[in-house]
Amino acid sequence: MSNSGGLRSLQAPNFSATILFAGQDCALCGAVSGDSVVCAQCEAALPRPSTCCEWCAAALAHAGICGQCQRRPPAYDAAVAAFEYRFPVDRVIHRFKYSADLAMGRWLALRLALRASEAARPELLVAPPLSAARLRERGFNQAIEIARTVGKRLGLRCAIAALEKVRDTAPQPGLTRRERRRNLRHAFRCRVRFSGEHVAIVDDVMTTGATADAIATILKAAGAGRVSVWAVARTPDPAGD
């Protein structure tokens, strides 16, 4: 798979966001990809996690639990990711998230559904909510779109309105782990009560896990018995605590 060709294709402005045509071009290399937005050759070459932390899905050299999770266990109980967040997966997610390429988003969600089908099955899916201002700016919540597709594919109920963001927060990129936790403190509210159910948080990218940790905390306070995180991609943790 050519990186330069893939980047040119990812920057192409006329890709259809809603209609898939037989014989369409692969979004990464430009080759004919049939009825998929990514051809089989490019899909096989995408970076996928191999050895990961059993708790947060961060990449590890050897199987086990990462040092960060040992020092500060997260509120969620397990995490899985379909891809590693690096080229060209980062460009693909950016295209879906910021260019409203819904066809690409559906393709990503189906790959997450395939990966998550190997994990413990939850009773319910939820997605991190956006603030009203951010939702107006973007026009859609990418995590909700992913959760809907994953839920439909796996036959799981998706509770779109279960979570609410009750205050605006600073953008997370560029913040350390500690700053992210502080930024998200008291930012979410759970609108439902649980009775020990297993709930999975569905998101596009998992970085430090601060968002998942904040949401898992309020889900468990609302009665959830187990909380998993299902992310399209997992990044290497940024430096800093």
Residue 111: pLDDT band with limits 50, 70, 90: very high
Average pLDDT over residues 93-120: 95
138: which 2 tokens? Answer: 């973007």
Asked whether residue 1 carries a pLDDT value surpassing 50, the answer given is no
Average pLDDT over residues 91-101: 93
47-234: which CATH number, 3.40.50, 3.40.1130, 3.30.559, 3.30.70? 3.40.50
pLDDT digits (tens, 9 = 90+) for 117-130: 999 999 999 999 98
Residue 147: pLDDT band with limits 50, 70, 90: very high
Asked whether residue 218 carries a pLDDT value surpassing 70, the answer given is yes
Q: What percent of the chain has pLDDT over 90?
A: 63
83: which 2 tokens? Answer: 């891809």
Terminal Cα-to-Cα distance of the chain (whole angstroms)? 36
pLDDT of residue 188: 86
Q: pLDDT higher for 96 or 171?
A: 96
| Alpha-carbon dihedral sign for residues 148, 151, 157, 163 | negative
202: which 2 tokens? Answer: 């569905």
Asked whether residue 85 carries a pLDDT value surpassing 70, the answer given is yes
Residue pair 54/42 in contact by the 8 Å Cβ criterion: no
Domain ranges of the chain: 1-45, 47-234
What are residue 72's phi and psi, to 5 degrees? -140, 85
